[in-house]
Amino acid sequence: MNTVPEPRTAAALAARRSRTDSALLRVRESITRLRREKAQVSVAAVARRANVSRTFLYDNPEAPAAVAMAMAEAGDRRSRMLAEQDDEREATWRERALNAEDALKAAQAEILAQRTRIGELLGQIRDLQAEWTEEAIQRITTENTTLKQRVRQLTTDNRTLDERLKAARSNLRFQGRRVADLEARLTGPEPPA
């Protein structure tokens, strides 16, 4: 048996190896591009990008290992990214919770201050109510009513006196004109004789 391949067979085998190497190179480049673009690495995506069949990826011993390794790295990267996002969200919620706690403490302090002030004011009202007996309140109310009536009476009297004053001034002016007219007649030119 002849172990040396025929020249045509050797050429075919070399061409096949060359095509396989070229396809493997395209597979590696496709995986690199998918990683760079942060796209999902899958058998279908690599086959489409590398322009090879899925069968090639499953049958060639190097191709499935490269795709599996890329998928595992993408999964790890995705897991890390999700963990980082979870940490960021948790930090945001933690910050919000701390802010809410601070706001709650401030609100509780304000409520306590307002309740204290309300208590003080209610105490002052009770003190004021205690100082005035029912008789004193009735007496003051009666005096107040009497004073209001007196004010109304004085206002009416004032209006009446004001009207009399105006009338007196008007009479005085009229009398002043009449006196001036009489004086003018008395001191006027003498009639011819």
Dump pLDDT digits (tens) for 43-94: 788 888 888 887 877 777 777 777 778 777 777 777 777 788 887 888 788 8
- Four-CA torsion 75, 79, 81, 84, nearest 10 degrees: -170
Dump pLDDT digits (tens) for 122-147: 888 888 777 777 888 899 999 999 99
Task: Look up residue 99 and give its two tokens.
Answer: 């802010």
Cα torsion angle, 57, 63, 69, 74, sign? negative
Whether the model pTM is above 0.85: no
Task: Look up residue 42 and give its two tokens.
Answer: 């899958």
